[in-house]
């Protein structure tokens, strides 16, 4: 079973990107969904009903290739945790930039 694992980081992403993709887009859904729900006046409802279950679903889906011994542990750590963290930084930055544009370049 060990020989069927991708040997490099990029090979793991190419083979199992469908498993990792929800974890990659979750930061944008989280930050922008939170902003929309806050403007609608229901931020707690969004976090409990949408964000929390979606977070766990994305995490378990992203770790499934490792749990089934299809990718190496460190490949899964990189694609399921490090990359979403970096994407989250981009999501925060893009949201702050958008808030700056919406408020006329003032402080967000």
The residues, ordered by sequence, that sit 6+ positions from 87 with a Cβ below 8 Å of its Cβ are 24, 25, 27, 28
pTM for the full predicted model: 0.80
| Helix and strand totals (H; E) in the chain | 5, 0
Contact 72, 8 (CB under 8 A): no
pLDDT band of 106, cuts 50, 70, 90: low
The count of other CB atoms within 10 Å of the CB of residue 74 is: 12
Best CA proximity match to 76, nearest among 19, 1, 3, 2: 19
Quote the tokens at residue 65.
């290739």
Contact 16, 78 (CB under 8 A): no
pLDDT at 1: 45
Find the mean pLDDT for residues 82-107.
Answer: 85
Over the chain, what is the mean pLDDT?
A: 89
| Per-residue pLDDT reduced to its tens digit, 90-101 | 999 988 888 788
2: pLDDT strictly greater than 70: no
Q: What is the DSSP letter of 93?
A: H
Find the mean pLDDT for residues 21-45.
Answer: 91
């Amino acid at each position: 079973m060990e020989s069927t694992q991708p040997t490099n980081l990029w090979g793991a992403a190419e083979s199992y990107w469908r498993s990792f993709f929800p974890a990659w887009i979750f930061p944008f859904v989280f930050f922008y969904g939170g902003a929309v729900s806050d403007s609608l006046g229901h931020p707690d409802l969004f976090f409990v009903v949408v964000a929390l279950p979606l977070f766990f679903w994305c995490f378990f889906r992203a770790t499934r290739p490792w749990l089934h011994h299809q990718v190496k542990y460190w490949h899964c750590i990189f694609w399921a945790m490090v990359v979403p963290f970096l994407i989250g930084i981009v999501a925060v930055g893009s949201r702050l930039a958008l808030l700056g544009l919406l408020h006329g370049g003032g402080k967000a």
